[in-house]
Amino acid sequence: MNISRTGALILSPIPAVVDSTQLVKVTIEGHEVKLAARVRHLQRVTEPSGAERYRIGLEFLEAPAILVHALE
């Protein structure tokens, strides 16, 4: 996972609809945080094993203080 204050790039076995709003759970400094995020892009990728995954670009709708603090 690649994460910043404004969004994240994740790899998932399940696709998400572009422009949909998703609830994302992340663990930050031992705390589970739920973030609302809009799906901005989706790319299907095939792993060397042949498994299909989806690279999903997310834009956080609001970044909680704990996330901002952890990324500083």
Identify the CA nearest to 19 among candidates 49, 47, 59. Answer: 59
- In tens, the pLDDT along 20-71 reads 999 988 887 788 888 899 999 999 999 999 999 999 999 999 866 766 666 6
Are 34 and 13 spatial neighbours (Cβ–Cβ below 8 Å)? no
Residue type at 63 in one-letter notation = A
DSSP label of 48: T
Q: What is the pTM of this model?
A: 0.82
- By residue count, the chain amounts to 72
The parent domain of residue 12 ranges over 2-71
Q: What is the CATH number of the domain that holds 50?
A: 2.40.10.220
pLDDT recorded at residue 41: 97
Number of structural domains found in the chain: 1
Q: Does pLDDT of 18 surpass 90?
A: yes
Please say if the pLDDT value at position 10 is more than 90.
yes
How far apart are the C-alpha atoms of 40 and 35, rounded to whole Å?
Answer: 15
